[in-house]
A and B are shown apart, each in its own frame.
Chain A
Amino acid sequence: MANLLWLQGGACSGNTMSFLNAEEPSACDLVTDFGINVLWHPSLGMELGENLRKMLHALVSGAMPLDIFVFEGSVVNAPNGTGEWNRFAGRPMKDWVSDLAKVAGYTVAIGDCATWGGIPATAPNPSESEGLQFLKRKHGGFLGPTYKSKAGLPVINVPGCPAHPDWITQIVVAVATGRGGDLTLDEFQRPKTFFTSFTQTGCTRNMHFAYKVSATEYGQRKGCLFYDLGCRGPMTHSPCNRILWNRQSSKTRAGMPCMGCTEPEFPFFDLMPGTVFKTQTMMGVPKDMPLGVDKAGYIKLTAAAKAASPAWAEEDIFVV
């Protein structure tokens, strides 16, 4: 039986909603099939008031083992580093995070806010938010760059806005069943099993990407969303088109651009007017190329691809 505690800092509860929608395995499966004891969760926790505080103190003191500490939302430090803007169970949440992370077997950050600071940490960052071990791309965050949980791993980052339900429950199951040591993490401490391939991997519009045919409006049943509508699929690490949302679709499949929400810089361009859902270009060439592609090669590829494109690439092919 592994004890799991889920706390929430500066958050919208989106990752909690995602978690509760998990199917493989589901939140209930965690308890019934994998022996996870959910000590407390913002939407599921039974304890209130003094009982909750006692439990938290028991965890901090070591009287009760904390096997998995899950944190959702940013660590709020405002005002002036006190954390008083986000109090929980009688003290600033950041103090609980600091104490609980020291005794946790594994510490798991769920969603962009807990991993990199997310939207709350976007400039001017009035809540002085940061992620558990990163602030955007900068390693360190609230717990510092050298932090390791008792199992010897740094914070396991499961980003996304929100994270996919199955990414959450599958990682939780892995660490709860003693397979945490098998996890390999990338440079941003994301499990490689999910975050090595790109959002574009498995995208149904890859043919249109190859032949350089652009979608020009949302929901269009032809065309690639990268060229004009700001899709970040070619440079975003996520399995959104391998592990489908609601088991049947993804943003790009539905005709909406990927916003790159699993990357530390999200939201990109600090949400300046006209930058969202619009490919940023310089002299007509995208500022952000697909990862590993240079400008000269991209222009040559475009000319060749357009010249070779078949007629069907110009038609609506996703007809129901």
Chain B
Amino acid sequence: MASDKEVVLKAIADMLENGLKTEVEPFPETDKEFGDILLQLRRLDPKDLKGKLVVGGFVNHPYGPDNQRCLECMYYLVHRRWCDLPELAVPVEPEWWCRLWRI
């Protein structure tokens, strides 16, 4: 039987696979812009998975000229396959990316 985390991970994967349009751009170039996105996320219901994906700008593949991936992101926990950014706190795959990517 799949764990809750696996169920959520599959739900996210399905949404992205089915072409969910997320706010990939603009990438937050400054800390203020980054903070503004966090504020948007905090206003969401913590269970609003789709809202998190849209505001976070998730894609299910590497992104940008440097092929940035969740794998390199500071918030990514490798063994748990988890995004530890408190405002997101969702399971993710290492090859995904979102616009809150930081190293």
A-side residues, CB < 8 A to B, are: 212-214, 216-217, 227-228, 274-275, 278-286, 298-299, 302-303, 306-307, 309-311, 314
Residues of B within 8 A of A (CB): 27, 29-32, 34-35, 66, 68, 71-72, 74-80, 84-86, 101-103
What B residues does A217 contact at CB under 8 A? 86
- Give the one of B31, B74, B79 with max A CB within 10 A: B74
Closest to B99 in A: A284
Additional A-B contact list (13), CB under 8 Å, known A278-B31, A284-B103, A298-B103: A213-B74, A214-B75, A216-B84, A216-B86, A227-B102, A228-B74, A281-B31, A284-B102, A286-B103, A306-B72, A307-B71, A307-B78, A314-B80
* CB-CB nearest in chain B for A283: B29
- Tell me which of B29, B79, B103 contacts A212 (CB under 8 A): B103
- A213/B103 in contact, CB under 8 A: no
Contacts of B103 in A (CB 8 A): 212, 227, 284-286, 298-299, 302
Partner of A216, one of B34, B72, B85, B101: B85
Instruction: Kindly list chain B residues whose C-beta atoms are within 8 Å of the C-beta of A302.
Output: 72, 103
CB <8 Å contact, A274 and B35: yes
A274 lies within 8 A of B31 (CB): yes
Shortest beta-carbon distance, B101 to chain A, in Å? 5
User: Which residues from A are CB-within-8-Å of B71?
Assistant: 303, 306-307
Q: Which of B27, B32, B68, B78 contacts A309 (CB 8 A)?
A: B78
